[in-house]
Chain A
């Protein structure tokens, strides 16, 4: 398996524009996670899905952020409109299970977003 795939790897956009980040999880993994990493706040969980259904979106910072998982092999994280404070590295991760004993998450390479 190629691992978790994210695109684009780098995104530079202007404030107010819509940004869409994409993720392909590892085949067979039932859980998909979106994280954001900044110097100030570290690595934060934004939302996670189980079998394509959003389970916990309490980490989504505000209504400008939305995430979807239309099928088991694809998820998007959308920011509309984008703001400079959204600049960060966004990671997607997937795992087989969520039980404490089987919570090994596999991370993608991340998307570095810069909002000017």
Chain B
């Protein structure tokens, strides 16, 4: 499975959009981009996934570049409860979670 690169940490003001980037330059044609988050002391939680089209659900939006080498997870109106580690995963058949981005939402 392709590996991903994410910034180790980010801050975001409460109520603003949080944009979390991910690079996955070695992604192959059949691999999807998945995003999970892990709030302190809890199990990871699925957020969203996509192949090549942009996706949106009740939690977030996923923007995948045309060449599929990078993507951005957007939390449109970040709240304090969104403070967590966010993992970008390129999925063939298994998951490699990496170190993720620690997002801190600031009041």
Selected contact of B43 from candidates A48, A56, A98, A108, CB within 8 Å: A108
Interface residues on B, range: 20 to 34
Residues of A within 8 A of B31 (CB): 100
Instruction: State the total of A-B contacts with C-beta under 8 angstroms.
Output: 51
With contacts A56-B94, A98-B93 taken as known, whether A103 is within 8 angstroms of B44 at the C-beta atoms is no
* Minimal beta-carbon separation of B35 from chain A (angstroms): 11
Are A100 and B32 touching (Cβ within 8 A)?
A: yes
With contacts A100-B32, A101-B51 taken as known, whether A107 is within 8 angstroms of B95 at the C-beta atoms is no
With contacts A100-B91, A107-B44 taken as known, whether A43 is within 8 angstroms of B32 at the C-beta atoms is no
Report the nearest A residue to B90, measured CB to CB.
A100
Q: Knowing that A100-B91, A100-B92 touch, tell me 12 more A-B residue pairs with CB under 8 angstroms.
A: A42-B98, A43-B97, A45-B95, A45-B96, A48-B94, A91-B43, A93-B43, A100-B32, A101-B32, A103-B34, A103-B95, A109-B43
Contact with A along B24-46 (1 / 0, CB 8 A): 00000011101000100111111
